[in-house]
């Protein structure tokens, strides 16, 4: 009997052990990053093993964790077009936790990772908003002299520079005014209060990428983001990069000279990048010389396994002659502008498996002084057979007119996994705006504003193919009080794989605060209005992205509709003194279509094309007596048709590239009494070539407006003719391309 009992107990014990062993499961976890080391949250993964396939989605910091896996061999693949895992990762999962970090390699037409669209890294294919990224390789290959013309290749973007390099430059995003886009450098807002930003002297120095988000983004950023966001990110050393150094020297037509150098590296938990440039050119018109010295730096420090800190700085000092509209008459030979700009940013981040937290601080300074010490006399403007109805006078100011504005911002952001496929972002910001405006010979206008906002955003992945983003921000502005601005977007991947089809749609609202002068200005012709409401926008878009030929072609088409409301206008209130003030009056509409194509038919060749059709109209005029803004008129300096085409070849030591920019006829004004209300279209051909002379030395030549076309981006200000420049580049170490 005892023998039977012992046998029964042994049988039960062995059966329990076998049952427990059969139910032992393992865990597969790790981080998903690009080859440059950028984490990618909300990215779908497929984990295949003995029991079939399991779907997973990365969380904050690109972290993924799959539980309940039967022990055995597993393969992992990424479910996102434009990314590949090569070779396909494999590992054995036992009863414990197995770590497997994944490095995403770019496909032939690579996927882009953007920050500005969600305030955190996100793959473009997982977003419902329309966005573009100009990456570091493209910036280096393009060799554009300024950021403004680099942005011209993005669909939906119109650019206008008043003459040569260093002259005032304006950007118009989807029919919005030149102050309707939020401009940021490394997350630090750099617009003047009221949204204005001068791109004229902004150089593409040490940039990792340039991001453009089209559609209102005030749900994340508050004021200024009526039409979208443009962000510049400073380059940082990527994973596996060692120390390197480079130096360039070039010269060319218009007595152009450029000297540039930089150093980049990573050692242990520290990474750094720093660069400086000196640019000089006489440009084409009398008194239009431009001089700038600029620098940029970024430092990152890993503070243990979960924490990190980063600091960025970018500054420039420049001067440029401002001869005026020389196409209409004599140049002003003594007028000039002096600029100083400084951007500082800091970030402290703590990342966890389910929660990440970040503290941010930023400071932006823009100080411009317009100088015109001598009265150059009056002149009657002329253009062709047109003669102005009245002479134009010079208005000298020996002391100069100053526009000194500063923004100090502080922010906190939390990212939390609310579920296996849900990522919630919430944050709060506080901003202090100050200024010193007016003639330096008088007491300046010294306005102040303190603004704040809180925001929340929810990103969900439904069924592995539907990506939904929704959020809102409560903005409290010292000028107009509190406003709530929402946004929602969705991307639906109808077909996966290398030839994926994705449909996307978004809708949002935007707001923009008045400028300091509109709110607080005091002058003989205008008084500020502290009761102004914010300018508003409503934006909608619907698009489709199609990848073809095993991922070697990416085509995108987007239809959009933007309404811009409560636009601030100058309005005469006293017809005895003709003194006026500012009111919310105007309304415009912009709708159209954007097309974009990227192709990599073979490994050494890449092609690109973009087209924008814009139907922009003034619906409610801001001035009943001004034909430029009359109801029914096309929008100023925003062409109906615009297209770009690009081709690049890289083979061995040789690299070639060419770009064509086509800009159609557009509304404009001479503002000189000549009666000119339109500006003719133009075509510009740019090209470049490079050749490696050795392991560390490269020669290059760049040509702009190679066909020497005569045109004006802004009426009265001739664009540069054919400009060819060439130089040498030295680089040490394998890190610099």
| Residue ranges covered by each domain of the chain | 2-106, 230-236+243-732
Phi-psi region for residue 695, left (φ > 0), alpha (ψ -120 to 50) or beta? alpha
- When pLDDT is cut at 50, 70 and 90, the band that residue 82 belongs to is confident
Mean pLDDT, range 631-660, rounded to an integer: 96
Q: Which segments within 7-71 are labelled E, that is strand? A: 26-34, 44-49, 52-57, 63-69
| Dist. CA 715–CA 700, nearest whole Å | 33
Fold of 2-106: Immunoglobulin-like (2.60.40)
Q: Could you read off the pLDDT of 153-166 as tens digits, one per residue?
A: 999 999 999 999 99
Burial letters 273-295, b for 16+ CB under 10 A, else e: bbbbbebbbbbbbebbbbbbebb
Which segment of 21-30, 227-236, 337-346 scores lowest on mean pLDDT?
Answer: 21-30
Q: Which residues pair with 209 in a beta bridge?
A: 135, 233
Q: Which residues pair with 84 in a beta bridge?
A: 105
CA 66 to chain centre: 35
CB 287 within 8 A of CB 323: yes
| Dist. CA 204–CA 187, nearest whole Å | 17
Residue 577's pLDDT is what?
67
Mean pLDDT, range 318-328, rounded to an integer: 96
Q: Could you read off the pLDDT of 679-714 as tens digits, one per residue?
A: 999 999 999 999 999 989 999 999 999 999 999 999
Q: Could you read off the pLDDT of 130-145 as tens digits, one per residue?
A: 999 999 999 999 999 9
- β-pairing, 102-106 vs 26-34, is parallel
Which segment of 5-9, 311-315, 727-731 scores lowest on mean pLDDT?
Answer: 5-9
Q: Which two three-digit tokens encode residue 430?
A: 């506080």
3-state secondary structure of 736: coil
- When pLDDT is cut at 50, 70 and 90, the band that residue 623 belongs to is confident
- When pLDDT is cut at 50, 70 and 90, the band that residue 634 belongs to is very high
Q: Which segments within 3-129 are labelled E, that is strand? A: 26-34, 44-49, 52-57, 63-69, 72-78, 83-84, 90-93, 97-99, 102-106, 113-114, 122-123
| Dist. CA 313–CA 347, nearest whole Å | 12
Residue 406's pLDDT is what?
97
Percent of the chain clearing pLDDT 70 (strictly above): 96
| Dist. CA 333–CA 558, nearest whole Å | 46
Cis peptide bond upstream of 87, omega within 30: yes
| Residue in 410, 416, 414 with CA at minimum distance from that of residue 426 | 414
Q: Pick 527 or 490 by higher pLDDT.
A: 490
Residue 659's pLDDT is what?
98
Fold of 230-236+243-732: Maltoporin; Chain A (2.40.170)
CB 726 within 8 A of CB 251: yes
Mean pLDDT, range 264-289, rounded to an integer: 95
Q: Is the pLDDT of residue 258 over 80?
A: yes
* One-character DSSP codes across 309-340: EEEEEEEEEEEEE----GGGS---SS-EEEEE
| Residue in 597, 709, 600, 628 with CA at minimum distance from that of residue 662 | 709
Residue 411: phi, psi to the nearest 5?
Answer: -150, 155
CB 346 within 8 A of CB 309: yes
Q: Which two three-digit tokens encode residue 75?
A: 């393969």
Q: Could you read off the pLDDT of 553-590 as tens digits, one per residue?
A: 999 999 999 999 999 998 887 667 667 889 999 999 99
* One-character DSSP codes across 653-669: TEEEEEEEEEE--EE--
Q: Which residues pair with 560 in a beta bridge?
A: 541, 592
Q: Could you read off the pLDDT of 353-381 as tens digits, one per residue?
A: 889 999 999 999 999 999 999 999 999 99
Q: Which segments within 142-206 are labelled E, that is strand? A: 157-161, 169-173, 181-185, 188-189
Mean pLDDT, range 74-96, rounded to an integer: 88
Residue 23's pLDDT is what?
56
- β-pairing, 605-620 vs 641-651, is antiparallel
| Residue in 54, 77, 81 with CA at minimum distance from that of residue 66 | 54
Kindly report the average pLDDT of the chain as a whole number: 92
- When pLDDT is cut at 50, 70 and 90, the band that residue 20 belongs to is very low
| Dist. CA 218–CA 214, nearest whole Å | 12
Q: Is the pLDDT of residue 146 over 60?
A: yes
Percent of the chain clearing pLDDT 90 (strictly above): 80
């Amino acid at each position: 009997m005892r023998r039977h009992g012992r046998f029964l107990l042994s049988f039960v014990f062995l059966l329990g052990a076998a049952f427990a062993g059969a139910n032992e499961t393992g865990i597969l976890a790790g981080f998903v990053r690009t080859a440059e080391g950028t984490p990618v949250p909300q990215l779908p993964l497929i984990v295949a093993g003995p029991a079939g396939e399991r779907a997973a989605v990365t969380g904050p910091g690109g972290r993924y964790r799959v539980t309940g896996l039967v022990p055995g061999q597993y393969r992992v693949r990424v479910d996102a077009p434009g990314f590949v895992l090569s070779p396909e990762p494999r590992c054995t999962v036992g009863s414990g936790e197995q770590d497997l970090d994944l490095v995403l390699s770019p496909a032939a037409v690579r996927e882009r990772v953007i920050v500005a669209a969600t305030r955190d890294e996100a793959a473009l294919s997982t977003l419902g908003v329309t966005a573009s990224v100009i990456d570091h390789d493209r910036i280096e290959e393009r060799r554009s002299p300024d950021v403004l013309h680099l942005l011209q290749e993005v669909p939906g973007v119109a650019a206008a520079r008043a003459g040569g390099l260093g002259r005032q430059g304006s950007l118009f995003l989807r029919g919005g005014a030149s102050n309707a886009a939020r401009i940021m450098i490394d997350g630090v807002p750099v617009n003047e209060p009221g949204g204005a930003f001068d791109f004229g002297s902004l150089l593409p120095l040490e940039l990792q990428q340039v991001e453009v988000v089209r559609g209102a983004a005030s749900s994340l950023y508050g004021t200024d983001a009526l039409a979208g966001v443009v962000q510049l990110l400073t380059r940082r050393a990527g994973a596996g990069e060692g120390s390197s150094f480079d130096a360039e020297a070039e010269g060319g037509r218009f007595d152009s000279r450029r000297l540039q150098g930089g150093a980049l590296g990573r050692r242990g938990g520290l990474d750094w990048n720093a660069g400086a440039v000196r640019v000089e050119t006489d440009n084409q018109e009398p008194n239009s010389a431009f001089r700038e010295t600029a620098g940029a730096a970024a430092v990152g420090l890993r503070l243990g396994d979960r924490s990190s800190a980063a600091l960025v700085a970018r500054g420039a000092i420049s001067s440029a002659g401002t001869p005026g509209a020389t196409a209409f008459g004599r140049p002003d030979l003594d007028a000039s502008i002096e600029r100083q700009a400084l951007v500082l940013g800091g970030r402290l981040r703590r990342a966890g498996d389910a929660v990440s937290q970040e503290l941010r601080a930023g400071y932006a300074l823009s100080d411009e002084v317009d100088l015109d010490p001598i009265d150059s006399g009056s002149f009657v403007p002329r253009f062709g057979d047109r003669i102005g109805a009245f002479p134009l006078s010079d208005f000298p100011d020996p002391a100069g007119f100053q526009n000194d504005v500063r923004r100090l911002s502080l922010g906190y952001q939390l990212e939390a996994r609310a579920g296996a496929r849900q990522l919630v972002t919430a944050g709060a910001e506080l901003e202090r705006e100050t200024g010193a405006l007016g003639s330096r010979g008088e007491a300046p206008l010294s306005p102040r504003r303190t603004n704040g906002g809180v925001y929340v955003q929810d990103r969900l992945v439904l069924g592995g193919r539907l990506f939904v983003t929704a959020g809102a921000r409560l903005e409290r502005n010292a000028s107009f009080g509190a406003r709530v601005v929402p946004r929602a977007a969705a991307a639906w991947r109808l077909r996966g794989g290398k030839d994926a089809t994705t449909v996307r749609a978004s809708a949002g609202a935007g707001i923009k605060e008045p400028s300091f002068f509109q709110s607080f200005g005091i002058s003989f012709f205008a008084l500020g209005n502290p009761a102004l409401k914010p300018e508003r926008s409503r934006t909608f878009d619907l698009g489709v992205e199609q990848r073809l030929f095993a991922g070697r072609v990416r085509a995108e088409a987007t239809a959009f509709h933007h309404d811009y409301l409560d636009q601030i206008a100058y309005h005469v209130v006293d017809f005895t003194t003709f003194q006026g003030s500012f009111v919310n009056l105007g309304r415009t509409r912009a709708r159209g279509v954007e097309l974009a194509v990227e192709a990599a038919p073979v490994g050494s060749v890449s092609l690109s094309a973009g087209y924008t059709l814009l139907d922009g109209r003034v619906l409610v005029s801001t001035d009943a007596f001004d034909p430029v803004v009359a109801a029914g008129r096309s929008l100023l300096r925003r062409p109906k048709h615009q297209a770009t085409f690009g081709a690049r070849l890289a083979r061995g030591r040789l690299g070639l590239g060419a770009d064509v920019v086509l800009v159609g006829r557009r509304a404009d004004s001479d503002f000189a009494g000549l009666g000119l209300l339109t500006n003719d279209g133009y075509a510009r051909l740019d090209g470049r070539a490079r050749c490696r002379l050795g392991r560390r030395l490269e020669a290059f030549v760049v040509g702009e407006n190679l066909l020497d076309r005569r045109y004006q981006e802004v009426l009265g200000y001739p664009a540069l003719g054919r400009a060819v420049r060439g130089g040498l580049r030295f680089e040490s170490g394998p890190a610099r391309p």
